[in-house]
Every structure is written in structure tokens, then in C-alpha cells.
Structure 1
Amino acid sequence: MNRTALLIPHFNNPQGLAASLASVGEHEQIDAFIVDDGSSRQRIDEAACARAWQAEGELHFIYLPHNQGIEHALNTGLQAILEAGYEYIARLDCDDLCAPDRFTKQMAFLDSHSDVYLLGSAVTFFDASGDRFTINQPQTHDEIVRQMHDDNAFTHPTVMFRAAGVKALGLYPTDCKAAEDFAYFWRFVARYQTANLAEVLTRSEYNDAGISMSHRRQQQAMRIKLLWRYFDYSPRSFIKISKASLSFALPVSFTRKIKRLLGMGKWD
């Protein structure tokens, strides 16, 4: 058993799963836990996964009897990883791709920064036409706290966190549908030191079928809920929650036009 486990939820996307597994470098010392969330149309091909997986670690497959949603799949995987006794937990989604040394770099950072419990990185989003844009998330904890009062300071498929933090904070919340990562990372930010690496260590698929686009209004509503939960009565909090409320009220086509005019790459 390695020190680190990679958690990947799966739902009807065996080709994307194989591509994600194949992107993990052959010298990475990491085990993978794949949780199938009740796939019915396209089941996991375990043989194809084994062929794609070149890392120095084992594959573990967990099958849920029916579709329950990503937060339930993630929590099932977290429970299995905690029971197995891993030190670090990393995340990746089907179709997302890792730099070949991503996990080695993240483990080295956490090993040398014992106070940091949640670590992400910069991310490049891509689609069938190629790379679209890169998001450079804030790197220091103070910068991350400021960003969290506006929007998520971590891109979910880039993160690695300490299992000790999961034991202390609990599993992903189930009352923030489509924004379970934002809610979960707020718990880490509120209690521990956090960081993002400047380097792009993950390439994430961008498409209109993703949760951020297909469930945009639900996700935006949950974002406002979380901003109220961590509201600190500062002018910053007033400004940020007003901005989120305006974004919720406006159609996505309009907000995209505004962001393009302002030169912003993130379109959610």
C-alpha cells in the first residue's frame, strides 16, 4: 500500500476513466479508488483500466447499487480510503488529465509543510478543440481566504488533502448539491492552512454537460448559501455576496459576454 490514494468517481464514462488513469505517471507511487455511481449505460471496463494504469500502485473498484450523486460516491470512496489507512487523498474526475509527476510534487510539498492540510494547483481547461484557458488560483492561505469569500479558491480535480483533516472535519456535505467541493474546502480553510501550487498539474475537461454548466443555477444558489454561512460582516463580504446574487440573477450568456469584455477567462 502506498501513502496516497487517488479518488475518482465514475458514471457512464469508461473511456474518460481510462484516459484519466493513463495520464498518471509510471513512477507515481499512488493507489486509485474508483467509485462507480450506479452506471447503467456504460459500465467500467476493469481490464481496460488495468491496461491504462502504469503507476506504481493498485486499482480498487467500488460499485454503488444505484445512482446517488457525486457527493455520495465521493464519501463512499473517502470512507474506504480512511479505513485503509492512507496519509494523503488526491482527487481527479473522469476525462481530466494529470501531469506525469503531479502527485510526487504535491506529496513533497505537504511533507515539507506540515501545517498545510489542503493543496491544489493551477489548472488548464480543455475541450475537443484543444486548450481553452488556464486558471491560476491564489497560492497563499491569506489570498485563498479572500478568494473564498468570492468563489472557490480550489479547482476540485487538482486537490490533495490530508486524511487527518478528513477524520477531523468529516466527509463531503450532502446539503450543498452541485457545490459540495466549495462547501468542503471552506471547512479546511476555516480550520487549517491551505495552499495552491503555481504550476499547472492538472488539465480539466470543459464542456456544457459538466456540473458547473448543466447545474449552474443550482450551483450558484449553493454558492450564495455558503457565502452567507461564512459571512463576516466586512465590506468585502457585502460586495462579494452582492456580486454572487447578481450573477445568479443574470443569464449565463450575458455574464459570459461581460467576462470576455473584461478579459476574464473563467466562464462559469
Structure 2
Amino acid sequence: MSNIPSVSVVIPLYNAEHTILRTLASVSEQTCQPKELIVIDDGSTDGSFALVNNYILHYKGPIQIYIFQQPNSGVSRARNVGMKHAVCDYIALLDADDWWQPEKLARQLAILQKHPTIDFLGSNRNGEHWKQWLFKKFNHLTPISAKLLLYKTFFVTPTVIFKRSVLTKTGFFDETQRYAEEGNYWIRVCHQHHCVLLNESLVITGDGKPNFGFSGLSSNLKEMEKGELKNMRLGYDLGVVGRMEYLFLVIYSLIKYIRRIAIVKLRG
């Protein structure tokens, strides 16, 4: 590819000493490397900060790597701080316990160069491939609307890359929402921008563990459900759905919540 757009990678870091080096390596081993990597340490109490500092001291590659510290304030504030520091054409998000396949950025940048109207591009993860979900058929590139995200969150944070200009129109993550905060942001972005899913699995999240009820913030199913219901209300307030569809979505979300509880109990 010629004239490759520059990319800023943002990683929030909190007590991830067992995974952060693998995550950093997955960025440095990209076949198409980003210009900068910004790590925001969110008040870690383990050895995470020291590990990243040591990695930076010994790193000899072309990526400009920075680490900033803040008192523990939550993942949304950490991402926001990182995105405010970003200077490149595109911002790619990654979490400290996930990692990218080596061709992740190259594949997405190729799509973005070929289709410059795309503002926001996600991918699949953990071997997923979508053919159809309910009545929605998926192609190699599938536009994702804010309404569709109210039914299912097809974008997962470590898979997404987007134009930095998105920040000017949509702003940042809601720092008051600690659960399902990424869904809140995707809905707002997709309400205002051209968002697309690349139907390729380019990321490993959670070490391949189940998507909910296992560890991290997603393990708190009750709070996750509160976050999802808040996102449903957001969709209604933005005019993405009308009142009747909003009420249907609430019932639908509660059914999914009950199903998740049952799955976790059976798994345990």
C-alpha cells in the first residue's frame, strides 16, 4: 500500500502484568505498524507500569511508545485520555489482555484506503464469521447501523479502528458508565458516521474465554444488564427507535439477561 495512513493505538492498562507484554508484542509484530502506541496506566497496583516502562526502554523498533499514569478512574477515562493524546489519522483501540493477529492493521488499512467513506471499521474476533444474524445477512463488508447495535453489539473494542475526526463530531466515551460503555459509544458513533464490519477474525480477546460471566467487568451480569438498558434508552433518546420498538428492546434485553444467568449457572 502507498500513502499508508498513520495510526495511533490506545491501550488502557490496569493490573495486567500477566498479559500486557503479549499485547504489546502483538502491536510491534504487525505487518503494517502503527506510528504511535499510547498506554494509559489506570492506577495499577501490580507490576504492569514497570513492565511497560521496561519494554519501552528496550524497544528498538519504529513505533513511538508512550505511557501515562492516572489515578484509578475507570477504562472509559483511560481510553479518553489516550485518544486525546493521539495525533494520527486513525485511532485503533486495544485492551491489555487481548492481542491482534499480525495482519490486523494491514487488512483494515487496506479496506479503509479502498473505501475512504468508511469512518469506523471493526472486525470479528476469536474465529467468528458471520453469515446471518436473524434477518440480517453479512457480506465481507457489512454496514452496521445504530439500530442494529441496539439488538447486538457487533463491534468489540480491540477490533475497531476509526478516523480521528470521529472525535470531533461524536466526542468520547461516557466516563459515568462503567458497564457496556463501549456499546454506548458505538451507538453514538454509528448514529453519525459510516460504520462497517469487516467479516474477518483478526483479534483474540479474553484469551479465547467466554464473552460474559467469566472475568473482568463482563463477569458482573447485573451491572452489564443495567448498562445495556441504559444503551437502549440512549437509542430511544437519539431517535434511533420509536417508543414501541424501545419497549420491545427492553424486554428482549431482559430475556437475554435471564439466558446469560442460566448459561453461567450451567457452566459453573
TM-score (ref. length: structure 1): 0.81
Map of 1:161 onto structure 2: 162
The residue that corresponds to 1:134 in the other structure is 128
Map of 1:34 onto structure 2: 39
Matched to 1:228, the amino acid is R
- Amino acid paired to 2:88: Y
Asked if structure 1 preserves the Cα contact closer than 8 Å seen for 2:124 and 2:202, the reply is: yes
Q: CA deviation at 1:54?
A: 7.7
Query: Are 1:233 and 2:225 counterparts?
Result: no
Deviation at 1:179, TM superposition (A): 1.6
Distance (whole Å) between structure 2 residues aligned to residue 188 and residue 46 of structure 1: 31
Q: Percentage identity across aligned positions?
A: 21
What SS class does the counterpart of residue 151 from structure 2 fall into? coil
Q: Which amino acid aligns with 1:100?
A: P
Structure 1 residue 158 displacement after superposition: 0.6
Residue from 57, 60, 75 that aligns with 2:63: 57
- The CA distance in 2 between the partners of 1:159 and 1:222, in whole Å, is 20
Residue 91 of structure 2 aligns with which residue? 89
- RMSD of aligned Cα (Å): 2.7
User: How far off its partner does 1:245 sit?
Assistant: 2.2
Quick one: structure 1 residues 245 and 101, their matched pair in 2 at CA, closer, same or farther if it must change by over 3 Å?
A: same
Conservation of the 8 A alpha-carbon contact between 2:17 and 2:46: no
1:182 alignment counterpart? 183
Query: Per the alignment, do residues 135 and 198 of structure 1 end up closer, same or farther by CA in structure 2, a change over 3 Å counting?
Result: closer
How far did residue 237 of structure 1 move?
4.2
Instruction: Provide closer, same or farther for how the CA distance between residues 93 and 61 of structure 1 changes in structure 2, counting only shifts above 3 A.
Output: same
SS in 2 for 1:140: strand
Alignment of 1:106-255 (within 5 A): 106-124=108-126, 134=128, 136=130, 139-141=141-143, 143-205=144-206, 206=209, 208-213=214-219, 215-231=220-236, 232-233=241-242, 237-248=246-257, 250=258, 252-255=260-263
Taking structure 2 as the reference length, what is the TM-score of the superposition?
0.81
SS in 1 for 2:128: strand
Q: Which amino acid aligns with 1:242?
A: I
Distance 1:52 1:166, change over 3 A: farther
Cα distance per residue 1:84-142 (max 9 Å; x no partner): x2110001111212111111211221222222111110110xxxxxxxx636495522x
CA distance in 2, matches of 1:245, 1:8: 32
Cα distance, 1:169 vs. partner?
Answer: 1.3
Question: Could you give the per-residue CA deviations for residues 31-84 of structure 1, whole angstroms, max 9, x where no partner exists?
Answer: 2101100112223213553489686412111111x2111111111111111xxx
Find 1:23's aligned residue among 21, 26, 47: 26
Please state whether the residue corresponding to 1:36 is helix, strand or coil.
strand
Following TM superposition, by how much is the alpha carbon of 1:4 offset from its aligned partner in structure 2, in angstroms?
0.4
Match of 1:263 in 2: none
Gaps of 5+ in 2: none
